[in-house]
Structure 1
């Protein structure tokens, strides 16, 4: 019994130390930039990191548009943000990122109703969705996480070029573990491989997009929000209970996870760093898996073909 108590004791100490390290290294956006008169679009802005990102923009006075799939959740999120921030310019648009037609409809609506778009945060994404094909014949995960944000961004570029604008693509540290293989993008491999590939695509997309936007008023950045609390583990049982306890203890909350997206959207003087990758509100070296600009160009070409951009 004594050895088990010793293991538990030292494990608890290790968790406390790790939690302190995470808290001390979590980056915060301290920018006081006002967004009055600016229009922002946040996909997946009805919950989690997306909600906290949208709420922060609302506090800064922006005209905020939340894009998500569920009308009831969108309405609830908008009303909550209005109540919390006293900003009434909070709206929503419906979009299903598993449908290119839905993405095109959203872009058409934004282009028709807005005369400028100053910030686009491609935040929405999915993780363990299994082997599912969309109506467009693509794997659900890669279409939702990469192809649809790619399409939406390109369809809104002309509007964004009318002002000094920024595009933030929410990626993940998981992209570090991926090795780009274009042939795997529309094949079901396994949860982690597919998720990591989609997040690497986000980074590659950002790199090539920045190259194509040189000389314009638009800049772009990819971000890793950190390991954020989610509802991935929903099972009952001792293992699940322990896992949830560890997650609650160690992972970032949604407010903390939103900080780097907010930072890249509002911080002054980031224009020279367009195309770079950010974590905890500072620029980091690109992952080795994301350093080949020619692969980034190949990802762009394949994506352009898949979404039938031209």
Structure 2
């Protein structure tokens, strides 16, 4: 009898894990020949899988990250897996606003097109500070991408129809923004949640200010019932990484699956009808009411302009 219970329990665990890992795939086979795509943090995780998929569709893919050695290795792997030579790397450190400005200046000089911007790079909840004295989560996840998008927005408008895709997380629902302390950096998880909520407001405001100008904007959560096996654990100790890797192997979905909704928002005509929307599993999803507040989104945009000295 004990043996039978063991088998039943094992089967139950197996099917639960299978259910947790079940995901939609992007079935839209649209080609992207002639398109130029910029992906921040495209050297690993979801960003790299997105780069592979979009390069396979014929796009010119530029991955932007700060570690040149990792980037060059990733470019070789992306080229090999996508069978495309039209993949390159540009240096960008989102934790340094001067680096963001230098990157945009160089990009606009070198690249005459930008059809899709994927704001993928992100930091987990770490109690660290950027070079400009912002909390690492808020500075990288929101402010760095905020400045980057604004400086590249004229090129996106020139290449319309174009798209801005910003990765967020369902953990946004556990916090609200405090405009008296946007630079909150006390409890790591709450810091991360606030930065992901800021990503959602940012995506909505991009959609609002570009309405009628050919630019659409999407906020993407790459998982639904579970999270994605990305490389965020590299910011923690070896022991913590080993523990989390086991948990991720059991319950989290592979980055290839996590990238599907990003790919969907990059190519789908149906997605284009929902500019400013929030997407999970290749379809629009409903946000909590407080995350749909247009007044808060505008207030955050104006505050971010001041923080990054954007005239």
Same fold (TM over 0.5): yes
Q: Any conservation in 2 of the 1:67–1:92 contact (CA below 8 Å)?
A: yes
Q: 1:53 aligns with which of 38, 50, 55?
A: 50
Structure 2, gaps ≥5 residues long? none
Mapping 1:1-310, distance limit 5 Å: 12-24=10-22, 26-130=23-127, 132-163=128-159, 164-226=161-223, 227-230=227-230, 232=233, 235-236=238-239, 241=243, 244-310=245-311
Q: 1:192 to 1:11 in 2, by over 3 A?
A: farther
Q: 1:185 to 1:86 in 2, by over 3 A?
A: same
Q: 1:18 to 1:183 in 2, by over 3 A?
A: farther
Q: 1:36 to 1:175 in 2, by over 3 A?
A: same
Q: Any conservation in 1 of the 2:46–2:230 contact (CA below 8 Å)?
A: no
Q: Any conservation in 2 of the 1:185–1:194 contact (CA below 8 Å)?
A: no
Distance 1:47 1:95 in 2: 14
Residues 63-116 of structure 1: per-residue CA shift (max 9 Å, x gap):
110000100111111111112222111111001110000011111111111111
Distance 2:9 2:300 in 1: 43
Q: 1:173 to 1:114 in 2, by over 3 A?
A: same
Distance 1:101 1:236 in 2: 35
Structure 1, gaps ≥5 residues long? none
Distance 1:68 1:262 in 2: 20
TM-score (norm 2): 0.91
Q: Any conservation in 1 of the 2:50–2:262 contact (CA below 8 Å)?
A: yes
- CA RMSD, aligned part only? 2.2
Distance 1:78 1:234 in 2: 27
Distance 2:163 2:239 in 1: 42
